[in-house]
Structure 1
Amino acid sequence: MAAFPLPPGSVIGILGGGQLGRMLALAAARLGFDVAILEPEPDSPAARVAAHSIVAAYDDPAALARLAELADVITYEFENVPAQAVAMLTELGAATAPNARALAVAQDRVEEKSFLNKAGVPTVAFAEAHDAASAAEAMALVGAPALMKTRRDGYDGKGQKWVEHAAGAAAALKDLGGAPAIVEAPADFLRELSVIAARGRDGEIAVYPPGENHHENGVLRRTAAPAKITKKAAEQIERIAHQILNSLDYVGVIGVELFEIKGGKLLVNEIAPRVHNTGHWTQDGCEVDQFEQHIRAVAGWPLGPTEPHAFVEMTNLLGEEAADWPRLAAEPESRLHLYGKREIKPGRKMGHVNRLHPLD
């Protein structure tokens, strides 16, 4: 087991080779670390900027043993890494961060909301459904209309269905493949906010200013940050971040999505135990961005400052939009981040652009 803080020259292991892994690897390199990527797909964006690449399934025993041998600490770029993989790494004596509990909570929407409520964090009303009878009971408890989502997996609007009437609960569950589900009361929110926060190995917490998010077809399109919110709301969001991080005994960066309701009330929608799309604005708007912050945290280093030095509008580049890079690169206020994905597909996240403006 490695001793923390890790010195430069140590190896950071990352489960996942997509764009988040790539940006984590680049941040780690700036701090003098080498990176080892474990990813099932060959020629992944993260592997091409890392010192070591292991191409194998996430739960491949030999691959995990190799990663544990190479890396001084292991983290992950997305929360759907098989829990079995983290358990196997732990058995091998590898240090992992964030911890297995954070992963388990985030992988199951019922567990997630139950955890949040126990931690004193408000959410919409919810109930679980696993068959026709429990789906009807959930609708009776939550009320109609309601949003039914699969308990596990599903992202960017996938794996969910609106249920307009209680009588349609069984059919909605069937449409979702019959998988265990959660039924959520609708949130009549004014806007979606999010906050990126980090907790170090010594319990130190650093919170970035919240951002305001805009979605299209269930996919994040833009984040504007720092969001224009009241001091009371900012204090409430910071308090929520502290409650979540401390309750999980968390190490690393976390993304927390919130709904702002009329009257200034805030409800947490979901948490992501990793660096987050809504935190990309920090790359060009803050002294230390979320990727470096995550590396600092998992390596046991002091956390960096989170103060903003610009107002940033982050826009995701989907599909062919990334081919417009010559124009985007020519915009003086823009900072272009492309993910190195070999193939452009409709709706695929190919990069993002941060447009900088003076702070008010």
Structure 2
Amino acid sequence: MSAPVPTGLAPGAVLGILGGGQLARMMALAAADLGIRCHVLAPEGDNPAFDVAARHIVAEYEDEAALATFAEGVDAVTYEFENVPAATAAFLSQRKPLHPGARALAVTQDRLSEKRFVSELGLDVAPFRAVDSLGDLEAAVAEIGCPAILKTRRFGYDGKGQVKIAPGSDLAEAYDAIGRFPAILEGFVPFVREVSVVAARGLDGAFAAFDVCENEHRDHILAFTRIPANLTETASKAAIEAAHRIGEALGYVGVFAVELFVLEEAGTERIVVNEIAPRVHNSGHWTSEGAQTSQFHQHVRAVCGFPLGSAERRGRVEMENLIGEAALRWQALLAEPGAHLHLYGKREARPGRKMGHVTRVTPERP
């Protein structure tokens, strides 16, 4: 079976989304604004996207019968998370246009492949080595030094699947802590702040990046995003150019994020690429009210072949993640002048669980 030729859709089309979480939910809400209906496929569980989608299927991502039914009912497919099984992506891409494509998934699902890909583009990354055994880990630590971070090559987010290696650390214990899975050791980067670029690339190759945003993490989870980032114009341009080059090299279609470290060296700022997220991103939630086009509308535009919208911001913006019981402040947030509350419809507020976000936009005077 030959892969379908990518073509633009029109209002009235059906967009398939793999995954039923908050990103899929916000994607489906944005799609509805553009006259696009969404059909969501996700395994059994708490799937807030089901509440707002036109249709949904409860099935595992490996269930080919369910995938075939899903593909028959949509005009194109996208996804809300990067760990879509490769076989699932291949199965669907033979039936309907899949954006972002299988190559973007393959590169970004594996931290080692991702680091090699970014490095080969001539962009700066942290020192890294592949780790497939305890001996590899010992050799990598001897070469890179400490402190360093040992990460599983696949899966893991919000600090999961990784452990810090400090001088004197028991390496066997650290390797056991990540389940002795194939891993990567990354050298410590003495960054002064963490930033990200959320950008979109259209079906026609058009590129639009939102302003660089600065991110504050707590307990390995994004707590606040602030725009504009405290960054020189030169460093900001370098960050956006890095995203542009990554998008072009992947032949990417849709919204993606590039997480970066900012280093200060001899009075100048240097950008180091940390990770690529091939999807709409938590640090882009500020765009809901803070930009002319939200990242969710932009993603739907891109994967449907519509013209990209303006990425211009509407002022100074702060996005606060509502983690766990922080969402119980909903009444106070609704009463707060200028605050825009987004709740994800999840049934249970657990520690570390993203329950919603709130944006605050302060217009800038001319």
Q: TM-score range by the shorter chain?
A: over 0.9
Query: Structure 1: how far apart are the matches of 2:359 and 2:282?
Result: 12
Partner of 2:122: 120
Partner of 1:80: 83
What pairs up with 1:28-39 in 2 under 5 angstroms? Answer: 28-39=31-42
Query: Structure 2: how far apart are the matches of 1:83 and 1:5?
Result: 24
What pairs up with 1:48-59 in 2 under 5 angstroms? Answer: 48-59=51-62
Change (3 A) 1:85 1:166: farther
Are the counterparts in 2 of residues 139 and 166 from structure 1 also a CA contact under 8 Å?
Answer: no
What pairs up with 1:201-280 in 2 under 5 angstroms? Answer: 201-262=203-264, 263-280=268-285
TM-score (norm 2): 0.95
Deviation at 1:168, TM superposition (A): 3.1
Amino acid at match of 2:216: H
Deviation at 1:90, TM superposition (A): 2.1
Please list the CA deviations of residues 205-256 of structure 1 after superposition, one character each: whole Å capped at 9, or x if unmatched. 0010010000001111000012132211121111101110000000000011
Change (3 A) 1:233 1:3: closer
Deviation at 1:358, TM superposition (A): 2.2
Query: Structure 2: how far apart are the matches of 1:117 and 1:169?
Result: 27
Counterpart selection for 1:64 from 62, 67, 84: 67
Deviation at 1:3, TM superposition (A): 6.1
Query: Structure 1: how far apart are the matches of 2:169 and 2:37?
Result: 56
Q: Secondary structure at the match of 1:182?
A: strand
Unaligned runs of 5+ in 2: none
Partner of 1:173: 175
Partner of 1:291: 296
Which region of structure 1 is more displaced relative to structure 2, 15-24 or 343-352?
343-352
Counterpart selection for 1:142 from 141, 144, 158: 144
Change (3 A) 1:35 1:188: same
Are the counterparts in 2 of residues 285 and 312 from structure 1 also a CA contact under 8 Å?
Answer: yes
Which region of structure 1 is more displaced relative to structure 2, 284-293 or 224-233?
224-233
Q: Secondary structure at the match of 1:117?
A: helix
Are the counterparts in 2 of residues 21 and 46 from structure 1 also a CA contact under 8 Å?
Answer: yes
State whether structure 2 residue 46 is matched by structure 1 residue 11: no
Query: Structure 2: how far apart are the matches of 1:191 and 1:86?
Result: 35
Unaligned runs of 5+ in 1: none
Are the counterparts in 2 of residues 40 and 55 from structure 1 also a CA contact under 8 Å?
Answer: yes
Task: Quote the RMSD (CA, aligned, Å).
Answer: 1.3
Amino acid at match of 1:332: P
Query: Structure 2: how far apart are the matches of 1:3 and 1:19?
Result: 27
Counterpart selection for 1:21 from 17, 20, 24: 24
Are the counterparts in 2 of residues 201 and 298 from structure 1 also a CA contact under 8 Å?
Answer: yes
State whether structure 2 residue 306 is matched by structure 1 residue 304: no
Q: Secondary structure at the match of 2:241?
A: helix
TM-score (norm 1): 0.97
Query: Structure 1: how far apart are the matches of 2:169 and 2:298?
Result: 48
